[in-house]
Amino acid sequence: MASSNAVGNAREFISPSDLTFSWGSCHRCLWLNYNHGLRTPGFMPLVGDLANMQENYFAGKSCADIAPVLPEGKVADLGGWVKSSLIDVNGTASKYAIRGKYDLLIEFADGTFGIIDCKFQAKDSDKTGLYQPQLEAYAFALENPASGAPRKVSLMGLLVWSLLEPAGDVNKGFGLKLKHTWRPIERNPQALAERLTDFITVVSADMPDAKDNCEMCNYLTQRRQFIGAQ
């Protein structure tokens, strides 16, 4: 069994999105990524372009432009990087810290901050449970920064644009009508602490078995059976 005593491309920063997607997928692929820098390729370039468009639209906007229910405030930053102090696991500092890039940072009139993740979906659906650990990780990094003053996070949520129908014609050009939905997410630092403990325990141990339905691992196994180790 492969050991976690990795060198070279081993990672010491946990990406907030890995606490959602990679954790819920194949733990062998997760382990290989954090111990040897082997990350499964992604194929979603259009998603990134749409997300950037959505983020840039709200640059400098007030909270009223995002959702009338939000407290008084404004978009203070977009696409900013955060890095946390070292994460404690069972009372001992690990070698890992959180590092990632949020979508929108809100500064409220009372001096607290909000983290908003922009989402572009085919259909409007509630995915707050899925993204809760990711946003909580950003909040953790803001409140426990590796350097600089901590910033208290009082609000988190998803800003969702979902498709309704095309608009326009061949002469004027086409656009898309979108539904705009604000979905708040409750803070749960304890759940994040438990997820981080489990996450770090997995990537610090020996390489785990592949998930039964992992397409990448199954492809590599079948490829090896067909052509050998070349």
pLDDT for 44 beyond 90 = no
pLDDT for 139 beyond 70 = yes
Cα separation of 84 and 15, whole Å? Answer: 11
223: confidence class by pLDDT, cuts 50, 70, 90: confident
> 73 φ, ψ to 5°?
175, -170
Is residue 7 assigned to a domain? no
Nearest to 68 by CA among 205, 184, 223: 184
pLDDT for 152 beyond 70 = yes
Is residue 5 assigned to a domain? no
219: confidence class by pLDDT, cuts 50, 70, 90: confident
Q: Which domain, by its residues, includes 83?
A: 13-227
pLDDT for 14 beyond 70 = yes
7: confidence class by pLDDT, cuts 50, 70, 90: very low
81 DSSP β-pair partners: 101
For the segment 108-122, the average pLDDT, to the nearest whole number, is: 96
Is residue 73 assigned to a domain? yes
Is residue 55 assigned to a domain? yes
- When divided into structural domains, the chain yields a total of 1
pTM of the prediction? Answer: 0.90
Is 119 in contact with 127 (CB distance < 8 Å)? yes
For the segment 18-40, the average pLDDT, to the nearest whole number, is: 94
Is residue 3 assigned to a domain? no
Q: What is the mean pLDDT of the chain?
A: 92
For the segment 190-208, the average pLDDT, to the nearest whole number, is: 97
Is residue 163 assigned to a domain? yes
Looking at residue 230, what is its pLDDT?
61
Q: What is the CATH number of the domain that holds 113?
A: 3.90.320
Is residue 222 assigned to a domain? yes
Cα separation of 187 and 177, whole Å? Answer: 32
Q: What percent of the chain has pLDDT over 90?
A: 80
Is residue 4 assigned to a domain? no
